[in-house]
Structure formats: C-alpha cells, structure tokens
Amino acid sequence: MKRSLHISEETKAKIVASAKPDPSKVHVLPRSGGWAVKREGAKKAIRVVKSKTRAGDIAHKMVEEGKFSSVVIHRKDGTFQRGA
C-alpha cells in the first residue's frame, strides 16, 4: 500500500524557490586544467585561471565591487567547501 505525503502549497513554493539559481552568487568551480569563476546558473564561466586561490581572489573582489552578493567555493570533486 502506497502512502501519499501531503505538502502544503507554502512548503512547495519554498522548495521550488530554493531550487532556482541565484544569479547574485558567484561560484569557484574546478575545470579541466584550472578553476572557473562562474555566476550561479550561467552556462559560461566569467574567467578560468590556473589556481583555486586566484579564482577565489577574483570572486571575492567581484563581491567587494558589488557585482555579486556572495561567493560559493567548491572542492576539486565539485562538492561545496564553503559559501552562501
């Protein structure tokens, strides 16, 4: 016998909203041969550089300049290291 789970419309709306990309965030992601600085939800990177440290510096500077609200740093395997 299958059980159905009732989720309120408010909860559904929160789930959907949290699943949408937040373009105010900038990510530092591993790329082949380097690290990418990329707006959340974008297809193309803003910059690709050799080191994670350099990519993080670029992303943090963009936040300081008001271009983004926060930085999300990823590990080499793509999982979140810190941010948002």
Q: What is the reported pLDDT for 10?
A: 80
Asked whether residue 74 is domain-assigned, the answer is yes
CA distance 44 to 25: 14
Q: Report pLDDT for 80.
A: 84
Which pLDDT score, from 0 to 100, does residue 6 have?
A: 76
Give a yes or no: residue 6 inside a domain. Answer: no
50, 32 contact by CB (below 8 A): no
Q: Could you tell me if residue 60 is inside a domain?
A: yes
Task: Domain of residue 56: give its range.
Answer: 21-83
The pLDDT tens digits along the chain (84 residues) read: 667 677 787 877 766 666 788 899 999 999 988 999 999 999 999 999 999 999 999 999 999 999 999 999 999 998 888 765
Q: Would 10 be classed as within a structural domain?
A: no
Phi, psi values for residue 32, rounded to 5°? -55, 120
